[in-house]
Amino acid sequence: MNANLLESYLHDLDRELRRRGLTDSGILAEAREHLLDAMAAGQLRGLAQEQAALRAIARFGSPQIIAAQFMAERYRKLNRALFAVAASLGMMIAYVDSRPTWDDTGITVFALVLSGATLGAAGPQRPWLWALAVGIWIPVHQIMGAPTLASVAGGLIIVAFPLIGAYCGMFGRRALAMI
């Protein structure tokens, strides 16, 4: 019975990891080893196999919590790097867009959407952050130049483009992870 409990738990954990975009089989192997060690320790303390399995699983944590912890640990450094890249891309796009000789809105919009999509696929856990880091610089420049209601409204529209791209990138990454 304990093998069924363990396999059921690992199946649930695998599903939660995939839902978050983590497809590393090493995580499941590590979880299996920890659970087996905890089960063996419980049996050494005199627990029956099923009781030891139940206690090991309960102490290990729910699949949702474990998947969230693995995701946070794995993406901590990546998130910092992606934020720096997103802010840099956004500032470069805003710089080019602010030049007096630049008059190609289509290319600016394409750059915002593409940057958002790329970052959303690279870091699917925080697409809104990448979109804001990319898209906020043009509205800030516009508002600083002419602080009107129109510039604020226009800024919200501009931020929508990297948001669309980032969420498309996130959904694309998750769809590929489910294959």
Q: Which residue has the higher pLDDT, 177 or 119?
A: 119
Residue 34 maps to a domain: yes
Tens of pLDDT, residues 96-137: 999 988 888 899 999 999 999 999 999 888 899 999 999 999
Q: What is the number of domains present in the chain?
A: 2
pTM over 0.85: no
Residue 68 maps to a domain: no
Q: Are residues 93 and 149 in the same domain?
A: yes
User: What is d(CA 158, CA 139) in angstroms, rounded to the nearest whole number?
Assistant: 7
Domain boundaries, position 49: 2-61
Q: Are residues 35 and 85 in the same domain?
A: no
Tens of pLDDT, residues 39-75: 899 889 998 888 888 888 889 888 888 888 888 787 7
Q: Are residues 57 and 100 in the same domain?
A: no
Q: Are residues 45 and 79 in the same domain?
A: no
Residue 96 maps to a domain: yes
Long-range contacts from 108-113, C-beta under 8 angstroms, 24+ separation: 108/138, 109/161, 112/158, 112/161, 112/162, 112/165, 113/161, 113/162, 113/164, 113/165
Q: Are residues 28 and 97 in the same domain?
A: no
User: What is d(CA 158, CA 23) in angstroms, rounded to the nearest whole number?
Assistant: 34
